[in-house]
Structure 1
Amino acid sequence: MRRILIVGGGYAGFYTAWRLEKKLRRSSAEVTLVDPRPYMTYQPFLPEVAAGSVEARHVAVSLRGHLRRTSIIAGSVTSIDHAHRTATVRLPGGPDRRIDYDTIVVTAGAVTRTFAIPGVAEDAIGLKHVEEAVAIRDRLLTAFERAAALPPGPDRRRLLTVTVVGGGFTGVEGFGELLSLATALLASYPELTLPDLAFHLVEADGRVLPEVTDDVARWVVRHLERRGAHVHLDTQLVSAVDGHIVLSTGEKYDNELLIWTAGNAANPIVATHTDLPSDDQGQLRVRADLRIGTDDAPIPDAWAAGDNAAVPDLTSPVSGTRTMPNAQHAVRQGKRLAANIVADLNGRRVKPYRHHSLGVVATLGLGHGVFQYRRLVVKGLPAWLMHRGYHVLAVPTWERKIRVLLVWLSALLFGRDTVSMAAVQHPRAAFAAAGTPGPAGDRVPPRPDRTPARVR
């Protein structure tokens, strides 16, 4: 049997394995997928998870639940030696394991790009994983509870101050959704008012949303500012020590919640721990048919797709353009990659990846959105409905689609669920605070007599 190893269970890896199960006979290949998480995260929904519009578990697609014929290994690939067709996997709490393969598919994705800014490593939260989105929501809700108990002043102001660094799609969508949540929460907290809120979006470039035109990007900034946001363009974060924000413009303020969405960086496994060819940005060199290598020197039995691959964009009129690192491309690349692997195994010709963009759509909060396809621009509620419609169709499996639709329907009828579960992040705190019994059990009060009364 042909041994196929898939490194990474994100969009591209999940869809590659899913399609291989449908196209390959059981006797023809053995597919193994390695990922440290047991699920694929549908990342476009993470801003709505942070705002409480989508349940966290509904954006996590179980790998074992949907890849029934694929062997799933919970671990991280630490090195790839394609010359000898082996990969090293680090298992959680266990020894490293060597996996032999015949064909490798590298879909390890990217990692969050960070910089050595004081305070960021200690205080910032990313928005790349579902756990981070849940933590952001709980911290914002907890901050409202604490602020409502304080008199007006700097302490209250700090608790209700949020800073998002990065003006790409993740940053802008997350910022807009959290602003929408915070504004809606004011109805439940009569002690607080709109001027108590301070939401800052910090972007080092001179504009936001690089995938849309300049006019649309400027409209997004004006729209957010009309809702009370502070948008800092051509601005960098200088320091965030102890929650005190210092910007490159000289502005300073105290902050409670710092969210880091300043782009992606190359996966270190791809960039430095493999003999497969990569470019100066740490991405694997990939041909248009998703085979690793160049047109003149393809690498046999090696394929890649998604954010860790420099996939040529054949639809662009500019030579050398690469496809954008987004979900729209990763999903379709995974499907094309699976079809090409099957074709290659059966001696048929493979096809290049070519996808014309369907446009870009972004949520800016409940009832607010923007959509652009070439010169067509839709704003406001219609764009927000388009955003929801597109992503509920794009999220994999009918089971997840129905769950998300049911949550949206319940939110429409009863509003968002605004209960903070921040204590979940420290599950043993209450137990540890209760203490443990001493040698004679004197630290635990005697148990009251609970003998039931006799029933006559």
Structure 2
Amino acid sequence: MRYGEATVTVVDPRSYMTYQPFLPETAAGSISPRHVVVPLRRVLPKAEVLTGRVTTIDQDRKVATISPLVGEAYELPFDYLVVALGAVSRTFPIPGLAEQGIGMKGIEEAIGLRNHVLEQLDKADSTNDEEIRRKALTFVFIGGGFAGAETIGEVEDMARDAAKYYNNVSREDMRFVLVDAADKILPEVGPKLGQYGKEHLESRGVEIYLSTSMDSCVDGHVVLKNGLEVDSNTIVWTAGVKPNPALGRYGLPLGPRGHVDCEPTLQVKGTDYIWAAGDNAQVPDLIGRKAGNENAWCPPNAQHALRQARVLGDNVISGMRGFPQKDYSHANKGAVAGLGLHKGVAMIVMGKMKIKLKGRLAWYMHRGYHGLAMPTWNRKIRVFADWTLAMFLKREVVALGALETPREEFYEAAKPAPVAAASKTESRSKAEDKPKAEQAKAS
């Protein structure tokens, strides 16, 4: 845009953007958590960044209501609106899930999962109670898509390395369970590579149960529909995503699954000043529809979101200046997935040809693709530096569980000391004797 032509305001409850494909490697300690997040104020110096949430949108008045971190809500007028809230974990009303489940949609969850897993190894190493050990060393993952398969592959790899430093814990003591309601895992890379991924994980001791789901997990007691019951302190939920439910408060046209209904130009249907993109948008897949699939929609992944963003930016400026809009069209380039250190699967699409890779070469493709897709050169360099150092240095296996309650130790040191029991008894005796003494004095 020309200087002074418009003001761009970004409203987000977090002051940073997370590159979610790197969350499994962050949970495994292969990448520093700070290197997979991008600070918005640093990379968007010409934009106004507000840390808060958009609670409502008045389309008639073109006003958004902002709820900041602190203070009262206020209204923010706009001329053009871009809706890119992304997705949240898709959950079901399963007893115990809200209390026991661990998600994998944010950097905080990835850090928490890493600390939690290493803490379970600490617990198991320090006790002789077999029931406590068994529950601590059982890890259950629900969902076998990209997030689930990559996360269990990375975490199993980390736990295997960490066990070398424990006297009373070995990999044979651990139990990893992967559950999916579908009849295969990693559907994004095709049936053959998905089957390879399943066989590879099973060769590492991972139990995989397909065409089943979880009925309950109250107090860590996991009950599956196939009748299997296990006790676990670690239940990781990666069973898909859904559009951010906040979209339902904005008065926008939504598709059957809650996505914002968009034209191929990424404009929201029925408007000429609102656009949407990414995981919260229902965008027609023009390539798929040319191939004869009339119900083809762009899948919610980074490959489409990154490319939609560029088209959306151009279309917003075209709308401001009265130029025609451009349709978003992108042919699938394939998919890559990492299953731990030096292990992965990849499907590369080149025209009508599909190249399928597995093992170390696929792992290189996975890291190369996502490393280059990581926003900003600052973060690219830091991520590649983490990987380079890992070639020469051993993986860190330190759990920083105190991060969740950082003030607890200081509070214990600073809180007032309790009054001794003897002092209380003495004070009570003096209080009882005082009226007698006053009565004697009066006499």
Q: Is residue 407 of structure 1 aligned with residue 386 of structure 2?
A: yes
Sequence identity (%): 42
String of CA shifts for 1:202-244, please: whole Å, max 9, x gaps: 1011111221222221111111000000111011111111111
Q: CA RMSD in A?
A: 1.6
Asked which structure has the greater CA Rg, the reply is 2
User: Offset of 1:154 from its aligned partner?
Assistant: 2.8
Report the equivalent of 1:300: 272
CA contact (8 A) 1:173 1:365 kept: yes
Report the equivalent of 1:61: 38
- Matching residue's letter, 2:345: V
Give the Cα separation in 1 of the matches to 2:261 and 2:369: 31
Q: Is residue 163 of structure 1 aligned with residue 135 of structure 2?
A: no
Q: Is residue 314 of structure 1 aligned with residue 286 of structure 2?
A: yes
Question: Which one has a larger percent helix, Structure 1 or Structure 2?
Answer: 2
**Shift in alpha-carbon separation, 1:439–1:167, aligned structure 2, 3 A:** closer
Q: Is residue 338 of structure 1 aligned with residue 313 of structure 2?
A: yes
Structure-to-structure mapping, 1:81-92, within 5 angstroms: 81-92=58-69
String of CA shifts for 1:409-456, please: whole Å, max 9, x gaps: 22211121111111011011111222424699xxxxxxxxxxxxxxxx
Q: Is residue 389 of structure 1 aligned with residue 364 of structure 2?
A: no
Give the Cα separation in 1 of the matches to 2:404 and 2:369: 32
CA contact (8 A) 2:189 2:336 kept: no
- Matching residue's letter, 2:3: R
Report the equivalent of 1:359: 334
* SS of residue paired to 1:40: strand
Structure-to-structure mapping, 1:245-264, within 5 angstroms: 245-264=222-241
Report the equivalent of 1:207: 184
- Matching residue's letter, 2:326: K
Report the equivalent of 2:436: none
Q: Is residue 103 of structure 1 aligned with residue 80 of structure 2?
A: yes
Report the equivalent of 1:71: 48
Give the Cα separation in 2 of the matches to 1:439 and 1:373: 67
Structure-to-structure mapping, 1:370-385, within 5 angstroms: 370-374=345-349, 375-385=354-364
* SS of residue paired to 1:171: helix
Give the Cα separation in 2 of the matches to 1:363 and 1:32: 36
Q: Is residue 139 of structure 1 aligned with residue 116 of structure 2?
A: yes
Structure-to-structure mapping, 1:272-291, within 5 angstroms: 272-291=248-267
Give the Cα separation in 2 of the matches to 1:408 and 1:186: 22
Number of residue-to-residue matches in the alignment: 413
CA contact (8 A) 2:164 2:170 kept: no
Give the Cα separation in 2 of the matches to 1:288 and 1:320: 13
CA contact (8 A) 1:164 1:261 kept: yes
Does 186-195 or 219-228 show the bigger shift? 186-195
* SS of residue paired to 2:187: coil
CA contact (8 A) 2:265 2:326 kept: yes
CA contact (8 A) 2:138 2:174 kept: yes
CA contact (8 A) 1:82 1:276 kept: no
* SS of residue paired to 1:341: helix
TM-score, with length taken from structure 1 = 0.88
CA contact (8 A) 2:89 2:241 kept: yes
* SS of residue paired to 1:373: strand
TM-score, with length taken from structure 2 = 0.90
- Matching residue's letter, 2:271: I
User: Offset of 1:357 from its aligned partner?
Assistant: 1.7
CA contact (8 A) 2:193 2:358 kept: no
- Matching residue's letter, 2:253: P
User: Offset of 1:149 from its aligned partner?
Assistant: 1.8
Report the equivalent of 1:226: 203
Give the Cα separation in 1 of the matches to 2:123 and 2:211: 33
Give the Cα separation in 2 of the matches to 1:154 and 1:37: 40
Does 132-141 or 153-162 show the bigger shift? 153-162
- Matching residue's letter, 2:274: A
Does 408-417 or 102-111 show the bigger shift? 408-417
- Matching residue's letter, 1:30: T
- Matching residue's letter, 2:277: A
Does 177-186 or 225-234 show the bigger shift? 177-186
- Matching residue's letter, 2:367: R
Ranges in structure 2 where 5+ consecutive residues have no aligned partner:
420-443
